[in-house]
Amino acid sequence: GAGSNLDPRQRFLAATAANYFGLKPAAAAAALRGRPEVAGFLDDGSQELLALRRSDGGLSAIEATDSKNNVLVFFKLRPDVITEDNLHSNILVSSMLDSPINTLYQAVRQVFAPVLLKDETWSKTFDPKLQKLLSELETGLSTVLRRSDPNCMGEEFSEDDVQAILTPTDEFQFWIECARHGTKLYSKERASHFKDLFDDIAKDYCNLDSLSLFEVVDLVETTRDTVDSVWRQTEHDPYPQPRMHNLLDVIGSCLGRFVQRKLAALNLWEDAFHLVKENLKAGILICEQWASACEYLTGQLWQRYTLHQWKNEKYFPESLVKLGKRLDEVLTVRTLHEKLTFFLPSGEQNALHVAQVFEPFAGLNPVHYNPYTEPLWKAAVSQFERIIAPAEKKVASKLKKFISDIQDSPQQLLQTFQKHKELIKHPNISKELLLERETLLARLQDYVKDYQTDFETRCHGAPGDVSGPLSGKNLSEVVNNIVWVRQLELKVDNAIKLAEALLSDLSGFQSFHQSADSFLEQLKVYEQEQFDDWSRDIQSELSNPKSGLCIQANSPVMELDHVFGTLNILYSDRLVTLLREVRQLSALGFAIPAKIQQAANTAQKFYKQAVILKQVAHFYNSIHQQMIESQKPMMLQSALAFEQLIKHSKSGPGGEAQMTWDNPRELEAYIQKLQAAAERLSTENRKLRKWHTNFIEKVVSLMNIDLLRQQQRWKDGLQELRTGFASLESQGFKSCDMKAWRQHWNHQLYKALEHQYQMGLEALNENLPEINIDLIFKQGQLQFRPPFEEVRARYYREMKRFISIPNRFRGVSETEEESIFTVMTERNANGLLTAFSKAEDLFRRLAEVSNQFKEWIVIGQVDMESLVMTHLSSKQDWEKNFKALKVRGKEAERLPRYSATVFLCFNNGFHQIIKVVIK
């Protein structure tokens, strides 16, 4: 009625303004009636803009830039008078919130940039230069919004203004811009520090959609650690709480939108159950983990962190939690359906219409959670439950029978209830399994009592003892005990959760819940006592200068013990343990007292240098054990240089003040010198040890080379050793420093040589070079050629050549050094006697050889003519003797071989030549 006397143009303006500002149409019409600004906009073609804002009287027309409040702007496409015909084709409507810059930024970011840069319809006709300008405009506007005074385009950034921080990337970009463009050096350094801390996650959030749900589960964990590091950093002024509150909020919103986008790509009702289940679980985990992280950080850890305490209420990402619950409900529906189909054969499924159970959810996107979709969702779930009711009744009877078969096995019973929890907690099935659930409750009570008994038995002993907590690896006592009790807490908590899910309607549930909660409280008290005892002990040690925990920035870095000659770094192992304990206890959720945290921070500051120095000190204290004794003179110069560096570690111009931790540049330079000297000595030692190892292999091989028959190989092996010494000498090692090492290897060579010398003496007679001797019949008697005495002299010459090897052997000695090998001959006199005895025996056997052929030469010692004339008078005598000669010849051919050292050969006729080979 009130707007009935307005023309259609005015009614359009009034209705649009009423809808936007939430006014009654009559009030909006009354406010605009008779306004010259309205008449001018409608009737004057040159007046192209009308800006309205809400006022006490309803509406008022203003200049577009006059107010920071909500403004509704009408403007024309063409400078024409507005008529009823062009009303909807010539007027554009835009709202303006907060500021023109913010409105323009949001319009570009959310409307125009996506349409003009990503939509192919427009991007292919949109000039690339203009595309670049549009992108730069978006970036520039976002930067301006992050400045403290957007109206005057101020240069300094405001940390209190977070209205432009809509995504995690906006926050990371804010600190990048502060670090680059801030006007104060300290502010730039602080911003750079925050930027570096955020670098761990910035890239992932920038490319979030390229990650999978499962990768983002890990990202949530990393994000928690990153924001914790940002909040608890002590190098610069703390991170503002309002800013952190906003960051936690935008991270939660970003994660929620990501989960929705990823799950929207699936058909949650028709895709394979395992695929839907894995993705839904990952989505739920992301929501739960971030909610849990926010609750823990702002509700516990940061509220107890005295150096930068979280004030007021904890932050809780409510919308993300509700999204997680919705996803859990979707998973429950799918799981319930899967379990029903698992228990029912296909015939029963068809009869009970199990295939149609998801029809109520048609047209409903379950991942779009908000208060408006909630009633529709609940109605669909109710309809789903009505459809599956008959199937549930069937399944309940099957479960009942299955559980009755295994109720005597508590472990199997628990596993079955845990496995089919989603099915059993459904009201229809839960009602049917009343007795079975009561049995489960009794079992859970027994379990909790057993855990309690075990705890009370072990809580007073030391880790690893029969009466103490179970022991883990590489954990200090306090951390070990807390980890042990946390595991018990987890078991009890799991029992409580199972009972809450399945047994809350039973009469004994409250009693069980109270006793389990009481035990949980007992465990938490024990846990807190362990931490409190540790805190007291550490704080007490911090007050004791001799405890090893009292490192100060101006404390000396190290000291040289003049009694034992050891280098001690004044950074105790107890400090290393403290650092590990503080890190582990913080990770377990404990708020470290400020005094201990400060000590840990100081210790952490010097930890890197301390570790390096301890390595150098260990090297200094143990290098003499790593060196081979005989090589020490060769490394004397490097060792002395290293020792001088240790002994003259004073800082300052005169070298009088001790090196302290608070002199980082000098300390760093000194550490580099120490490392270089240590590395030089270590490299030398490694090189010389390698040579030593090579020499061992060579001498061991010589010990197995036959000195009698393979003298050349002995010479070659010895030459390799000498070449090794010469090579080291050419590398700068002095010959005089090698004396002890040469002596060492001469002694090793002595052992190898003596072993082969003794082996050679034993086999000398069998292994000397062969001597060929002819046994001839001359001048009426048997004779050796060469003569016996000449053979004897030659044989003994060969023996002497071998026996005198030690007298000629120099080893690796230098020419002027006295040889240690000459005594070897004398020390092996018994072996020489054996060798000479064997030689004499050989010559005795040689002399006996001629005796064996005396009867064969008798015929050559008589007058043959006379003998023939006397004894051969008839034809029969000659025939008889020829026959005898043939027989004798054959007998000669069959003459036996003698010993292995003597061989005989016959020539035809009476002049026999006998060849004797002596070995």
Higher pLDDT, 85 or 472: 85
- Tokens 């989505």 identify what position? 283
**Does the pLDDT at position 215 exceed 90?**
yes
Q: In the numeric block, which tokens belong to residue 354?
A: 């199990």
Kindly report the backbone phi and psi dihedral angles of residue 201, in degrees, each rounded to the nearest multiple of 5, phi listed first.
-120, -15
At 157 the pLDDT is 60
Kindly report the backbone phi and psi dihedral angles of residue 783, in degrees, each rounded to the nearest multiple of 5, phi listed first.
-140, 150
At 225 the pLDDT is 92
pLDDT, tens digit (0-9, with 9 covering 90-100), for 709-732: 788 898 898 888 989 888 988 888
How is the beta sheet containing 58-62 ordered, strand by strand?
A: 58-62, 49-55, 71-76, 91-96
Give whichever of 469-473, 700-704, 836-840 has the largest mean pLDDT. 700-704
Please give the Cα distance from 3 to 461 (Å, whole number).
Answer: 87
Q: In the numeric block, which tokens belong to residue 459?
A: 């809580």
At 240 the pLDDT is 93
Please give the Cα distance from 280 to 875 (Å, whole number).
Answer: 132
Considering Cα of 710, then 713, then 717, then 723, what sign does the dihedral take?
positive
Query: Where does the pLDDT of residue 152 fall: very low under 50, low under 70, confident under 90, or very high at 90 and above?
Result: very low
At 149 the pLDDT is 45
Q: In the numeric block, which tokens belong to residue 610?
A: 């301390």
- Tokens 């799918």 identify what position? 334
Query: Where does the pLDDT of residue 57 fall: very low under 50, low under 70, confident under 90, or very high at 90 and above?
Result: low
Q: Write the CB contacts of 273 (distance below 8 Å, at least 6 apart in sequence).
A: 334, 338
Q: For strands 558-560 and 71-76, give the pairing.
A: unpaired
3-class DSSP string for 860-906: HHCCHHHHHHHHCCCHHHHHHHHHHHHHHHHHHHCCCCCCCCCCCCC
What mean pLDDT do residues 576-598 have? Answer: 87
437, 506 Cβ separation under 8 angstroms: yes
Q: In the numeric block, which tokens belong to residue 23?
A: 């006014």
Question: What is the rounded average pLDDT for all residues in the chain?
Answer: 81
What mean pLDDT do residues 137-157 have? Answer: 59
Q: For strands 71-76 and 58-62, give the pairing.
A: unpaired
User: CA angle, 281 as apex, 278 and 283 as ends, to 5°?
Assistant: 110
Higher pLDDT, 335 or 863: 335
Q: In 3D, which of 288, 297, 278 has the Cα closest to residue 326?
A: 288
Please give the Cα distance from 587 to 221 (Å, whole number).
Answer: 12
Q: In the numeric block, which tokens belong to residue 449?
A: 């009592």
At 348 the pLDDT is 62
pLDDT, tens digit (0-9, with 9 covering 90-100), for 600-653: 887 887 788 788 888 887 877 777 777 888 888 888 887 787 777 777 665 444
31, 60 Cβ separation under 8 angstroms: yes
Q: For strands 567-569 and 91-96, give the pairing.
A: unpaired
Residue 127: burial class (beta carbons within 10 Å; 0-12, 13-18, 19+): exposed
CA distances from 152 to 145, 309, 426, 621 (A): 11, 35, 62, 67
- Which segment of 135-149, 205-219, 368-382 scores lowest on mean pLDDT? 135-149
What mean pLDDT do residues 6-16 have? Answer: 87
DSSP 119: -
At 172 the pLDDT is 92
At 659 the pLDDT is 66
pLDDT, tens digit (0-9, with 9 covering 90-100), for 832-850: 787 788 777 777 877 776 6
pTM of the entire predicted model: 0.55
pLDDT, tens digit (0-9, with 9 covering 90-100), for 725-768: 889 888 888 888 888 888 899 899 989 888 888 887 777 766 66
Kindly report the backbone phi and psi dihedral angles of residue 94, in degrees, each rounded to the nearest multiple of 5, phi listed first.
-145, 145
User: CA angle, 32 as apex, 30 and 33 as ends, to 5°?
Assistant: 65
Q: In the numeric block, which tokens belong to residue 842?
A: 């050989």
Core vs surface per residue 767-783: b (16+ CB within 10 A) or e = ebeebebebebeeeebe
Please give the Cα distance from 236 to 223 (Å, whole number).
Answer: 21
pLDDT, tens digit (0-9, with 9 covering 90-100), for 167-212: 899 899 889 888 887 767 668 889 999 999 999 899 999 999 999 9
Higher pLDDT, 891 or 320: 320
Q: In the numeric block, which tokens belong to residue 50?
A: 């009308």
Residue 95 neighbours by CB distance under 10 Å: 12
Please give the Cα distance from 32 to 29 (Å, whole number).
Answer: 5
Helix (H, G, I), strand (E, B) or coil at 478: helix
Core vs surface per residue 362-391: b (16+ CB within 10 A) or e = eeeebbebeeeeeeebeebbeebbebbeeb
Domain boundaries, the chain: 8-146, 168-344, 407-514
At 515 the pLDDT is 93
Please give the Cα distance from 135 to 139 (Å, whole number).
Answer: 6
Task: Determine if the peptide bond prior to 786 is cis (ω within 30°).
Answer: yes
**Does the pLDDT at position 896 exceed 60?**
no
296, 589 Cβ separation under 8 angstroms: yes
